[in-house]
Amino acid sequence: MKKSTISINGMTLPVITVQTAVVGSGAASLNAAVHLNRLGNEDVLIVTDGMGGGTSNNTGSDKQTYYKLSLYGDGADCPHEMAHSLFDGGAMHGDIALIEAQLSANSFCNLVNLGVAFPHDMYGGFVGYKTDHDPRQRATSAGPKTSMLMFQALAAEVKRRNIAIQDRTQVISLITDGDGAEKRVIGMVSLELDKLEEENFGLLIINTENVVYGTGGPAILYADSVYPQVHTGATGVALEAGAVAQNCTEWQYGIASKGFRWNLSGTYQQVLPRYISTNQDGSDEREFLSDYIKSTEKLLECIFLKGYQWPFDPRKIKSFGSSIVDLLVYYEIAVKNRSVYMDFLHNPLMMPRIDESMMVPEVYEYLKKSNAMQDLPIERLAHMNMPAIELYQENGIDLFKEPLEIAVSAQHNNGGLKGNIWWESNLRHLFPVGEVNGSHGVYRPGGSALNSGQCGSLRAAQYINARYHATPQNEDDFTAKAEEQISAKIDEIHKLLNAKTCNIIKYRTELQHEMSRLGAYVRSAENSDELLKFINEKLQEWEKTGIDNPTGLPYAFKNKCAVTTALVYVSAFKEYIGKGGVSRGSYLIANTAGEPVFEGKDDKFIFDADKMTEVICESKLNADNTVEHKWVERRQIPPADAWYETAWAKYRNGEIFD
């Protein structure tokens, strides 16, 4: 790594020249840095706006799941079986599914060896359980904070290996060179957050051969969100540079707490809490699920099933499936403007206790086997999962004393930036890893995102080590190619500082509110049109939303990232609906030609068979802020027909990287 300076527009700017820059400090980014170092690449720099500030270190659930190949018992499992579990969710490339399956055991054992305490039995077997969209018992967990433990183990390894970290640094632009298929990333423009008031506004230029881009999902888009407040994502920065996205329509939404953002899955639901709503001032408390679910047995079953059917799923609405709970929560909040809570201090319907006669066998047997037949939900939760209560206590919420405010919130983006089988973008030398990579399709097994992030970052490191280990270009050549793009960013900064108004906070909150209102888990052609009109107005407005001083630059550039991402994503929503897309994944498509869900309600939704699982929508942002979409057939799972001697030869001579 080399440090120097360049002069652009009369401004002296620091430059770091490094072979590979890893952006972000989540589990995927840190894993890429560790593997690069392990493979002998020492010229690596982690660039992050806050070490430990991403989703990996700040999210979880009652029992956060890691999805992997089965490593226990006598049940048959193999990489192709797991690949089909991923692929069968629809709109996912088969070769990517196979890679995530075949590298699953490797990646999982790497975490175990780094110290993540995944439980095993006395014989060393990693016992599993079934998670959503999982036909086998592949899931495991290290507790409510699995991804946090992964981050901590990987961060400790980064420190042990003395891998350099450029902390408190926000990337605001990717610097590119070339055109078409030859276009590649050669560097980045960033802001050093502790130097914003210096003459050069804290600008830091990075000259690099490769960028591993682990910036997480576009958490900034929604007001109702499970993503931690500290995490925003940076998908828009890559889109603006010309990176192609895919499956932007595919999100995962679910019931989560609002004040402290946390998934309310597993035992939070299986202890059968009471769902209530109130007016905004707290008056008129009432249970609302029973207005539509008249059977006590069915009511308890729906709540219970939200435990392991946590993501909102249109297939689980009809015949009073578990996702009816999410939809009823939506009506209370979005339509009736009420606040909704989960109450662990009382049983549903204010029953003094719940007994076998009120429950379907599945619910009763689960609680009975768990020795969780106590009178009240809070007592059952304390017995089965006290850490789930302590987690809220750590964040100022006492479930022994108060109900928990909830909403149906954005939790994970199954789409994102396109990557090939080595996780390389269409922009050469750019490797999106972790959630920012759109490798998932419509449905995915719970916990598969953690596996995907580890497998993808390993693949990126392997390819960089094999093919992209050249020394970065010299300073003069880099400056000649980058000067115009750096100068454009400086011009944007001056426009922000010279604008007459200052409303960057309002700008973001308005965008997030409209995305949650019109572009979340209930969508329509009309809503998409209204939302696109709003987003385009916001895009035109961006440079006019000035800042009082340079300390507002990071917030302002994240606003631009947000509105750019929203433009591409909502354009994809409209494209999908226009092609006849139906309710699927974790969202509903509203249409007057559809079917009603409830008697007495006018809302109708399209529930036809999904005919688009074999194609993937790729989306590209053009320089004029138009978005073009291309539908491609998904690649099938490659056959398992390799011959060892041939495979060995291809491995030895490096053909596997061709």
- How far from the centroid of its chain's Cα atoms is residue 283's Cα? 36
Say whether pLDDT at 282 is over 80.
yes
- Single out the residue of 585, 596, 576 nearest to residue 524, CA to CA: 576
The dihedral built from the CA positions of residue 342, 344, 350 and 355, taken in this order, carries a sign that is positive
* Paired tokens of 239: 């889109």
**C-beta separation of 587 from 253 below 8 A:** yes
How far apart (Å, rounded) are the C-alpha atoms in residues 271 and 376?
8
Percent of the chain with pLDDT over 70: 100
Integer Cα distance of 189 and 195 in angstroms: 14
Distance CA(100)–CA(447), nearest Å, equals 12
For 496-614, strand residue ranges (E) read: 522-523, 588-596, 604-605
- What confidence category does residue 602 fall into, taking pLDDT thresholds of 50, 70 and 90? confident
Mean pLDDT across the stretch 410-423?
A: 97
Quick one: DSSP state of residue 129? B
Q: What is the pLDDT of residues 43-75, one digit of tens each?
A: 999 999 999 998 999 988 888 999 999 999 998
Q: Which residues contact 426 (CB under 8 A, 6 or more apart)?
A: 181, 183, 242, 243, 244, 418
Average pLDDT over residues 30-41: 98
pLDDT, position 57: 93
Give the pLDDT confidence score for residue 500 in this predicted structure.
77
State the average pLDDT over residues 445-451.
Answer: 95
Percent composition of the chain: helix, strand, coil (DSSP 3-state, to 5): 40, 20, 40
User: What is the structure's pLDDT at 656?
Assistant: 96
pLDDT for position 61: 83
User: What's the mean pLDDT in 581-602?
Assistant: 90
Burial of 599 (0-12, 13-18, 19+ CB in 10 A): exposed
Domain 253-410 shares a fold with domain 501-633: no
Q: What are phi and psi of 82, to 5 degrees?
A: -65, -40
Q: How do 44-47 and 164-166 pair as beta strands?
A: parallel
Report yes or no: 175 and 166 within 8 Å, Cβ to Cβ. no
Position 501 pLDDT exceeds 90: no
pLDDT value, residue 573: 98
Residue 294 has pLDDT above 90, yes or no: yes
Whole-structure pTM value: 0.96
Distances in Å between the alpha carbon of 219 and those of 12, 94, 158, 256, 563?
34, 27, 26, 15, 12
Listed ranges 129-138, 327-336, 427-436; the one with the highest mean pLDDT: 427-436
Question: Is pLDDT above 90 for 133?
Answer: no
Q: Which CATH class is domain 253-410?
A: alpha beta
pLDDT at 368: 96
Cα dihedral 245→437→310→254 (10° resolution): -50
pLDDT tens digits along 532-558: 999 999 999 988 888 989 999 999 999
- Both tokens of 232, joined, read 């925003």
* Amino acid 77: pLDDT: 95
pLDDT score, position 258: 94
Res 132 pLDDT > 90: no
Total residues found in the chain within this entry: 658
The values of phi and psi at residue 469, to 5°, are -100, 20
Helix (H, G, I), strand (E, B) or coil at 125: coil
Mean pLDDT computed over 76-94: 97
Q: Identify the band that residue 380 occupies on the pLDDT scale cut at 50, 70 and 90.
A: very high
Contact 278, 339 (CB under 8 A): yes
**Strands, E, within 606-651: which ranges?**
615-621, 627-633
Cα gap 354→363, rounded to integer Å: 11
Residue 162 and residue 44: Cα distance in Å, rounded? 10
The dihedral sign for the CA sequence 359, 362, 367, 369? positive
What rounded mean pLDDT belongs to the chain?
96
User: With bands split at pLDDT 50, 70 and 90, how would you rate the model's confidence at 598?
Assistant: confident
Distance CA 138, CA 77 (A): 9
Mean pLDDT, residues 473-485: 96
Q: Which residues contact 447 (CB under 8 A, 6 or more apart)?
A: 64, 65, 66, 67, 131, 139, 141
The kind and range of the H/E element at 81 are helix 79-87
Question: Average pLDDT in the 199-224 region?
Answer: 98
Which three-class secondary structure string do you get for 347-397? CHHHCCCCCHHHCCHHHHHHHHHCCCCCCCHHHHHHHHHHHHHHHHHHCCC
pLDDT band at 131 (very low <50, low <70, confident <90, very high): confident
pLDDT at 474: 95
Mean pLDDT of 82-87: 97
Residue 499 — pLDDT band, cuts 50, 70, 90? confident
**Residue 543: half-sphere exposure toward Cβ, Cα within 13 Å:** 10
Comparing CA positions, the residue from 120, 63, 96, 201 lying closest to residue 422 is: 96
pLDDT score, position 263: 93
Give dist(CA 379, CA 157) in Å, integer: 40
* pLDDT at position 599 over 80: no
**3 state SS of 245:** strand
What's the pLDDT at 507? 95
pLDDT at 128 over 80: yes
Q: In the predicted model, what is the mean pLDDT of residues 477-490?
A: 97
C-alpha dihedral (246, 252, 258, 261), degrees to nearest 10: -80
Listed by start position, the domains of the chain span: 2-250+416-477, 253-410, 501-633
pLDDT over 90 (residue 303) = yes
Note every long-range contact of 115-121, with CB atoms under 8 Å and residues 24 or more positions apart, other chains counting: 115/153, 115/156, 116/142, 116/146, 116/149, 116/150, 116/153, 117/142, 117/149, 118/66, 118/142, 121/72
Helix (H, G, I), strand (E, B) or coil at 107: helix
Give the per-residue pLDDT at 546: 87
Q: Which CATH class is domain 2-250+416-477?
A: alpha beta
Fold for 501-633, please state it: Methane Monooxygenase Hydroxylase; Chain G, domain 1 (1.20.58)
In three state form, how does the secondary structure of 394-450 look?
Answer: HCCCCCCCCCEEEEEEEEEECCEECCCCCCCCCCECEEECHHHECCCCCCCCCCHHH
Residues of the chain above pLDDT 90, percent: 91
* pLDDT given at position 411: 95
Angle (nearest 5°) at CA 385 between 383 and 391: 130
Contact 36, 458 (CB under 8 A): no
| Whether pLDDT at 486 is above 90 | yes
Res 130: pLDDT: 86
Sequence-separated (6 or more) residues with CB below 8 Å from residue 60: 143, 144, 145, 146, 147, 148, 262, 263, 391
What is the 8-class DSSP label of residue 549?
A: S
Q: Is the pLDDT of residue 607 over 80?
A: yes
CB 134 within 8 A of CB 126: no
Instruction: Categorize the per-residue pLDDT at 290 as very low, low, confident or very high, splitting at 50, 70 and 90.
Output: very high
